[in-house]
Amino acid sequence: MPDRTRKMAAPWALLRRQVELLVGERQSLLRVVGAGAALIAGLDSGQLPAETVEAARRLAASIDRLPEESLRDALDCVRAETRKKDAVPGS
């Protein structure tokens, strides 16, 4: 029986690794989206070249299409990283 148990566990282990990879990718994407949203919020479009303003508008439109929960998670992720960075002496 141990051999059969091991064979049954292998697909679950593979699925677990794939889910862990996807969760890690989601965290990375949340950091990028959160940083993009924070960047856009801090821009003064009156002092930017037109091409930069247009790029910021496209980014903002993409971010606006995200589900609210995902955007909230993204902003929380960036805030958490900012707090960590601020808490480290000498950074």
Question: Per residue in 41-77, pLDDT tens?
Answer: 999 989 999 999 999 999 999 999 999 999 999 999 8
Name the H helices within the chain. 2-42, 50-64, 68-87
Q: Does the pLDDT of residue 20 top 90, yes or no?
A: yes
Percent of the chain predicted with pLDDT > 90: 62
- Region 10-35 average pLDDT: 93
Rounded Cα distance between 38 and 85, Å, is 16
pLDDT band of 18, cuts 50, 70, 90: very high
Whether this prediction's pTM lies above 0.75 is answered by no
pLDDT value at residue 60: 93
- Region 29-37 average pLDDT: 92
pLDDT value at residue 91: 53
Q: Are 30 and 73 in contact (CB under 8 A)?
A: yes
